[in-house]
Amino acid sequence: MEELRLRYNEEKASFQIANFLRRHLLPETVFLCIGTDRFITDSLGPIVGNLISGSLPPIYYVYGTLKNPVHAINLEENLRYIKKKHPYSKIIAVDASLGEEENIGKISIKKSPIHPGKGVGKILPPVGDLSIVGIVDSFHAKDLNSIRLGFIYEIAETIANGILIASYSKSLSF
pLDDT 10s digits, 46-74:
999 999 999 999 999 999 999 999 999 99
pTM: 0.94
> Maximum Cα–Cα distance for the chain, whole Å?
48
**Percent of the chain topping pLDDT 90:** 82
CA distances from 8 to 104, 117, 143 (A): 10, 22, 22
